[in-house]
Structure 1
Amino acid sequence: MPADTNQFTPSSISVNPSELSLSQLQSLTNIDDIQEYLRLLDLEENQVDVDLDALLDKRTYLETELDKLEALRPQLGTLHSKSADLVKIINTTSKVAERISAQVRQLDLEQSRVQQSIKQVEDVQELKSCINGIYNAMQKRDYETAAVHVHRTSTMDEKILTGKFAEVAIPTGEHPDIPQKLLHDSKETLYAIFSREFDAAVQARNESEISRFFRLFPLIGRETEGLDKYSNFVCGIIAGRSQANLAADASDAKFYAETIKKLFENIAIIINQHQPVVETHYGPGKMIRVIERLQEGCDKQSRIILNSFIDERHVQRKISDIKASNNTARLSFASQRSNQAKENDNAPDPREIDAILVELATISQNTHLYFQFIRSKVKSELDLLKTEKTDTSFDVDEPFNSSGLCKQLRELMEDYLLIEVFYLRRSMKKAMTIDEYDESHRTSSCVDDVFFVLNRCIQRAIVTSDVDVISSFANSVNHYLETDYTSVIQKRLSTLFTSNDAEDARIRFMILLNNLDMSCIYFQRLSTELQQDTLSSLTSIVTEEDIEKIRALLAWLEDSATGKFGQILESGLDQLFGQTIKPRIRPLLQEAYRDVKYVLEEEEYHELEANDFFGRRFVNGFNNLQQLYKTRFTDNNYNHIMTLIMDSTINMLEKTISATKFNQASLGALRFDKDLRAVLNYFTRNVQGPVRDKFTRLSQISMLLNLEVLSEINDYWGSSSGVTWRLTVAEVRKVLGLRIDFNQEEVANLKL
């Protein structure tokens, strides 16, 4: 049988009794539930009583408020009646106001149409007056007035010019055409007159008339034509001056560089002088068109100048000779022989091409300076247009990158690079061929000669102000320094020790190593000077970004070149040390240690202390060993060799000590410590660098040998001692085992 859905269980005790139906209450069977619900009903009944008492307490207040409302009933009735009357009045007034408003709107419309008609009549009258004024002024040759009238018509509404009323009201028997045709014919006539008069003024070099008619073109809507005519005029001035400059004596080494510089200066002067005039009469940004036309004129004149330069300086012939020379000789410095030292007779004279290179670099610099000036002027014009909220979609660089001058300059710079590289290589070849050594110098002549040429060539490349040229030439310098300079030195180094005269070969070997060392120094100095001095002259020509690129190129070239020099130099020094010096170190140490021992009696100790046999022999022997290198080597090379000698001496000393016995600290070990200090002091005087650090192992060996008792090692060993040990535990035990007065078993059992 299904369960009764109305049956309650104790779990439903939380339900509010007032929410239960009678049938649900009747279904309760559990006495506890019944009693609980009875209790809840009692509570609810009590709450209802409380609520009723509260309402009864408010009865007096409610009755008072109702009495007040009852007293207001007559007044509210009167207000209701008056409100109804007021609504009727407002409705009537609204209808009257709407009728009057419609009449006012109609009146406004009619008045507006009348005003429009009057305005149209006035505009047509003004148009007619302007047209009559144009013809009257033209008859009187008063072109300024005629142009002003034309300009006034251009400000009128197009509807006036094309309107039916104007077509009826303006034509006369003398001028029967419609206004549009009359104005068009007037503009064409005035343009023809202005053009004729402007051209005549240009022909007569009448500056006042030129200025007069130049100002009139924009008034008749012919701004572009006026700007073009003006541009042609100033281009003519530039062409005349340029041709006059080109007709002068071209014998000066920088004649063409100065001529093209004067061309650029004339253009700059004209732009600076005429820009305010153009802006005043044509508006902001209009000078850009003049600059474009000036650039076209500049292209023509610069082409004439540069072609004359190429012809007069025989540039193409020299390039052909250079290419022929490169193809036949290949300038292989590393394989040159005495019978090959004669230059190719067809190759250009380096002195001649040096002058051409200087002129080419100066031409490039002047051109880049000119382009920078023009860009700044165009940018200032574009900035003016931005303030006027006019379209400025104009690429500042495009007119110049595509100009004839820029293209021809790029071609010339390709020729420049070819000639400059030839000049560099030919000069280096000559320097290596005539290389001489003077005993008063520690290097041969080729170093100064090569770096004089390098300095001249790199400075000249930077003078071009062309980042691409500088980058390309830097790569060439890096390549040909290796093939034509360092490789020659490297080959000479490899063949010197085959000479029969060992002493002469050693000296020449040292000179070559000095050459490499000075090459590093010179290149670092050259790079620093170029970055500090030469680059500062480019700040007004190239951007800061380009200067940083050039600076990075110079730094890269310095690192690359000095790295190659340094690599060959280090290899050569190691070879010299290994073949001629290292074999002499062991005999010198053996001689210094002759009759020297460290197991001493007190009398022997005092005798050694008085005579210092080891110290005197060591100093004398090593002074003789290093004397030649001290007088012949550069400071860097001498220091490097002395460092190698020191390192080798330290290694040999360690091996010697490991086979020597010592007695108590106050005798043999103490004597060894003094001998070690003599060695340390000698190298400290003769070596620049961390000498004491190199002697750390020997110093720690001496400290171990000078322990009074074996247990004293605990004061020096361990993390709390403050000593950074370079010796291993096994090496410490081995050193302590050299003391004959220490118990060997105790040494072996030391806990380290």
Structure 2
Amino acid sequence: MPDAETQWDDHLSKNLAKYSLLLDKLTTLSQVTKLQNMVRADHAETAAQLNELVAESHTVHNKQIRRLELRRTGLTSTLSQFHTALNAVRNSNVEARSINTEISTTDAEREFLQQTHSFLNDVRSLKNNISLIQGALKDGDYLVAATAINEINELPSEIVNSQFALATIPTPEMPHSAGEILAQWTDELRTLFKANFTAAVAANNIDDLTFYFKLFPLIGEPTLGLDLYSKFITDIISQENQKFIATALKLDSGFHWVLLQLFKISSTVINEHSKIIERAYGLEYMPFIMTKVEVEVELQSCLVLNYFKETKLDTVAAEVQGTAAKTLINEFSQFLQNWSMYSRFFSVRWREFSAVGEENNETQGPLTLANPITDGSFMRKLHDENIFHTFQDLNLKYLARSSRRSVELEELPDINPLISTTLIPHEDPSSWPISSVLEDVILLLRQSLVCTVNTGQFAILAEFIASVVKFITNDFLVNFVQKRLKRLQEELNNGTIPSLRKYIPHDEETPQERARSPMAKAGSPGYHGPPQTQYQMQQSTGKFNLRGAFANIQSNLQSVVVANELDDQGNDDEINILRLHKYLIYINTLYFFQIATHKLFVEEIVEENARLLPDNFPFNDDCHRIADQLRSAESKISEQTGKLSHWGLRYLFQTALLHRVKRLLNDLFINGTDNNYIANTDDFEDLSQINSFIVKWTNFITPYQNVLYRDAHHALLLLLTDFCKNFVEKRVWALRVNELGAVKLDRELSLFISTICGLNYSLREDFTRVTQIVLLLGFDDDDFDVRTGDIKEELVNSIDWVLSPQDRAQTRSLKVDKRR
């Protein structure tokens, strides 16, 4: 709403505008008079309104002035109150400072009184303890005297040498100051305690020895007490070890036992005497004792190692074969194992005692080898004198020479009982025929690996794993199995490759004559060696009991292998039959070796015994690194073994099986002329050809299935299946088929695949392509698109086709009775 001034201005503006219009219209005097009267009236009205406006403005202004005056009066009152409060605060501050001064003075006086009281109590305690020491020394009560000295030593140093103490404590009988007399008594007691401790050690008086050992820290001599005590227990270790060494030298053996007893004593010392040291000194002193003990233990360990080298390593190491070498390796392994176990014990206790008193008393996390061991003389001696290398060299030489000896004494089982057209179940894995060398080598590997793992030395085991992979690759796989297979291949190539049948020696030979013949030697079927050798072999196999597979095979196993119409005129050389037997045994040996090495390297060591590696290799992440190395080694061995077995089976397939399989397949999938498969109602049900094939195939493949380990037989079937599916597909593409022929061909193909693959669906998938070709031959003409020659779209989407559209169109062209 506009204010009064704005309204007034508007009123004046309107009047001036009105007057301006009237002036422009004046024409007579009467109009001028009227205008003058109008102006006067307006002026009087305007003056009245103006006076009213001024009066109203004056009233409002006066009200505002009175309001401001009231506010000023209130502000003055508040200001007065503020000044009053400010004066009160100022007065309170003065009083507070005064009170604070009084309190500070009182606190200072109280603290001074407390210090004085404490000082007087300390001086009184000092004086009383000095008197107590004086009397205790006269009475020979050394525990009281040492305890009093300990209490004096715990007093502030300024008490003993204070002026007040100098003025009050000396007496005519004891004129010296407290500090002087205390130093004198401490020296006397130090000498006395040391002498008495030494005398107690000489007299083997454990009570006195323990008593005086506890007194040394009371007189401020803990290091002297620990030194004397350390010498006492290290002398015990030394004396006992001398007895053990004397016994070992007398028996000329058992140095690993000597080392074990030495470590038992030192471990007992650390465990048992830590309780005494904890009560008298505190566990924080245990690392000091352990360092002293370890110096002596390593000195004695070096002495034992010297005797072990002189009496064992330098005399027996040259003979790395036989019982003596095996015994030496086991003793050597136990020697190092005892050191590893002690190192673990010492490091665990060292970490526990070293953490005492630390803010972060942390004993978790990977264990590390204790410094006294890593920097010790025994560890240095082991490295400087190549002790680890000596063990490694001895172990590997024994492994190599023993394996060569095993090859010389090799035995091969008689597989005649397995050569049958009736499928023989193998419920026990030991029923598969393998070379005796496999079990011997696995046993030797197991013994060597166990000895190496038991040493607990990461460097030894890591190097052994790498070395044993080379040994297996070179000595066993190449120089033994591959060499045997190559020699058999060369011998088989020089003659007619026979079918798999029983080896039957000449009838004119008696069993006694055959035993004296060149065939009756290691590696010949029927040879079993002396009874003692068989017993030793059976006892030595442990978990890998693979030999003796046929010792328990019943003599009434059905064995119906015919002279086999597949052979060339049925007169194969009997020697080649025996060579084929050997060849199959070596194939099995490869597959079982793969199984055995996986069991040895991974299952037994890493998986089945979860604590074996962590317990033997507790430091840092050594156990995980070893597990990774073992898995890697097993993988490399498996890869090399797989390559060799595949090579051996491919030769068997190409030379002994391929030409027979071709002859079996030649008469299949023919119903008419060579390139025709034209069936009619007369011969539609005639499946004589495929039935004949099934009989011949069963007689042909079952003996291999009985002899070859299931994985080897499966690998052989893969080769056979691959050839058969290519052969059949090539033949089908060359056929001309009528409608009935397509149905009959489908039946024969189904029987063929079932015979070859059995229930192995992965093998059946290899025939998918040829199966779809025969399936298409049975389709009606209405199923095909005349324009493209391919099947109609709805059929394309109903089956997962491996055939291309061109293949499907070509398949339709094989039919002779299709509509154009």
- What range is the shorter-chain TM-score in? 0.7 to 0.9
Letter in 2 for 1:673: D
* 1:626 alignment partner, one of 695, 701, 710: 701
Aligned to 2:206: 207
Greater CA deviation, 148-157 or 118-127? 118-127
Query: Structure 2 vs 1, CA of residues 142 and 613 (structure 1 numbering), >3 Å: closer, same or farther?
Result: same
Compared CA separation, residues 741 and 131, structure 1 to 2 (3 A): same
Deviation at 1:454, TM superposition (A): 0.9
Quick check: 2:456–2:617 contact (8 Å CA) kept in 1? Answer: yes
Judged with a 3 Å threshold, the aligned counterparts in structure 2 of structure 1 residues 305 and 79 are, in CA distance, closer, same or farther, namely closer
Residue 566 (structure 1) aligns with: 642
Instruction: Indicate how the Cα distance of structure 1 residues 62 and 200 shifts in structure 2: closer, same or farther if over 3 A, else same.
Output: farther
Query: 1:463-482 residue pairs with structure 2 within 5 A?
Result: 463-482=454-473
Return closer, same or farther for 1:586/1:62 CA change in 2, 3 Å cut-off.
Answer: farther
* Range that drifts further, 623-632 or 348-357: 623-632
Q: Which of the numbers 581, 585, 591 marks the counterpart of 1:511? A: 585
In 2, Cα distance between the equivalents of 1:304 and 1:106? Answer: 74
- Taking a change above 3 Å as real, the CA distance of residues 159 and 697 of structure 1, as seen in their structure-2 partners, is same
- Between 1:376-385 and 1:570-579, the stretch displaced more is 376-385
The alignment status of 1:668 with 2:751, answered yes or no, reads no
Equivalent residues of 2:679, 2:738 under 8 A apart = no
Q: Summarize the alignment of residues 58-457 of structure 1 with structure 2, pairs less than 5 Å apart.
A: 60=63, 63=66, 66=69, 120=119, 122-167=121-166, 169-171=168-170, 175-248=174-247, 255-312=254-311, 314-319=312-317, 321=318, 347-386=319-358, 397-409=370-382, 411-440=386-415, 442-457=433-448
Give 1:470 deviation, angstroms. 1.4
Q: Deviations over 1:243-301 (max 9, x none)?
A: 33444367989833333223222333333322222112212322221222221222133
> What residue number does 1:652 align with?
727
Structure 1 residues 388 and 424: CA distance shift in structure 2, 3 A: closer
- CA distance change for structure 1 residues 270 and 739 in 2, over 3 Å: closer, same or farther? same
Match of 1:496?
488
Alignment of structure 1 residues 32-47 onto 2, 5 Å: none
> C-alpha root-mean-square deviation of aligned residues, in Å?
3.9
Distance (Å, rounded) in 2 between the aligned partners of 1:59 and 1:253: 134
With normalisation by structure 1, the TM-score equals: 0.78
Residues 1:239 and 1:675: Cα distance change in structure 2 (over 3 Å): same
Contact 2:434 2:589 in 1 (8 A): yes
Does the C-alpha gap of structure 1 residues 67 and 100 become closer, same or farther in structure 2, counting only changes over 3 Å?
A: closer
- 8 A contact 1:605–1:668 mirrored in 2: no
SS of the residue 1:185 aligns to = helix
User: Partner residue of 1:333?
Assistant: none
Letter of the structure 2 residue corresponding to residue 475 of structure 1:
A
Q: What SS does the aligned partner of 2:355 have?
A: helix
Task: Identify the residue that residue 325 of structure 1 maps to in structure 2.
Answer: none
Whether the 8 Å CA contact 2:680–2:741 is kept in 1: the answer is: no
Q: Within 2, Cα distance between the matches of 1:568 and 1:72?
A: 113
> Does the aligned pair in 2 maintain the 1:424–1:454 contact within 8 Å?
yes
CA contact (8 A) 1:710 1:742 kept: no
SS at match of 2:283: coil
CA distance in 1, matches of 2:625, 2:103: 77
Give 1:672's aligned amino acid. L
Q: Which amino acid aligns with 2:733?
A: S
Q: Distance in 2 between matches of 1:53 and 1:355?
A: 134
Question: Counterparts of 2:736 and 2:57 in 1: how far apart (Å)?
Answer: 120
| Aligned residues of 2:320 and 2:394 also touching (Cα < 8 A) | no
Structure 1 residue aligned with 2:680, among 589, 595, 602?
602
Q: Greater shift after overlay, 643-652 or 436-445?
A: 436-445
Q: What percent of counterpart residues are identical?
A: 22
Distance 1:76 1:245, change over 3 A: closer
Name the CA shift for 1:504/1:109 in 2 (closer, same or farther; >3 Å): closer
- Equivalence for 1:678: 751
Q: 1:437·1:445 contact (CA, 8 Å) conserved in 2?
A: yes
Which residue pairs with 1:697 in the alignment? 769
Cα distance in 2 for partners of 1:309, 1:542 equals 24
Question: What is the rounded CA distance, in whole Å, between the counterparts of 2:109 and 2:670 in structure 1?
Answer: 136
Q: What CA distance in whole angstroms lies between the structure 1 residues aligned with 2:58 and 2:598?
A: 107
| Structure 1 residues 379 and 586: alpha-carbon distance in aligned structure 2, compared to 1, 3 A threshold | same
Q: Residue type matched to 1:311 in 2? A: E
Aligned counterparts of 2:770 and 2:214: Cα–Cα separation in 1:
95
Residue 740 (structure 1) aligns with: 816
CA distance in 1, matches of 2:581, 2:95: 127
Q: CA deviation at 1:169?
A: 5.0
How far the C-alpha of 1:535 sits from its partner, in A, is 5.0
* Stretches of structure 2 lacking an aligned partner (at least 5 in a row): 1-52, 416-431, 495-574
Residue 321 of structure 2 contacts residue 398 of structure 2 at CA under 8 Å; is this kept in 1? no
| 1:37-81 CA distance string (max 9 Å, x none) | xxxxxxxxxxxxx9x9999769647636745865998x8899799
Name the TM-score, length of structure 2 as normaliser: 0.72
Inter-CA distance 53–494: structure 2 relative to 1 (3 Å threshold): farther
CA distance in 1 between partners of 2:261 and 2:186 (Å): 40
Distance 1:67 1:508, change over 3 A: closer
CA distance in 2, matches of 1:596, 1:54: 138
Quote the Cα distance in structure 2 between the aligned partners of 1:426 and 1:185: 75
Change (3 A) 1:427 1:596: farther
Matched letter for residue 406 of structure 1:
M
> 1:535–1:547: 8 Å Cα contact kept in structure 2?
no
**Could you say if the C-alpha distance between residues 96 and 271 of structure 1 is closer, same or farther in structure 2, counting changes exceeding 3 Å?**
closer
The 1:396–1:699 alpha-carbon spacing in structure 2 relative to 1, beyond 3 Å, is: closer
Q: Is the 8 A contact 1:231 1:294 kept in 2?
A: yes
Matched, 1:636 2:636: no
Pair 213,705 (structure 1): closer, same or farther in 2 beyond 3 Å: same
Which stretch of structure 1 is more off in the superposition, 256-265 or 477-486? 256-265
**Counterpart of 2:621 in 1: which secondary structure?**
helix
Q: For the structure 1 residues 556 and 689, does the alpha-carbon distance in structure 2 shift closer, same or farther, using more than 3 Å as the test?
A: farther
How far 1:179 moved relative to its partner?
A: 3.8
Measured after TM superposition, the shift of residue 599 of structure 1 is 4.0
Could you give the per-residue CA deviations for residues 654-679 of structure 1, whole angstroms, max 9, x where no partner exists? 11111110012xx1111111110111
Tell me how far 1:362 sits from its aligned partner. Answer: 2.1
Kindly provide the amino acid, as one letter, of the partner of residue 488 in structure 2: L
CA, structure 1 residues 114+650, in 2 after alignment: closer, same or farther (shift >3 Å)? closer
Cα distance in 1 for residues equivalent to 2:645 and 2:454: 32
User: 3-state DSSP class of the match of 1:605?
Assistant: coil
How many residue pairs match? The answer is 658
1:505-558: CA deviations, max 9, x gaps? Answer: 333322222221111111122231222345534544533833322222221111
Shift of 1:595: 5.9
Question: Of 590, 598, 611, which residue of structure 1 is paired with 2:666?
Answer: 590
Q: Is the 8 A contact 2:274 2:286 kept in 1?
A: yes
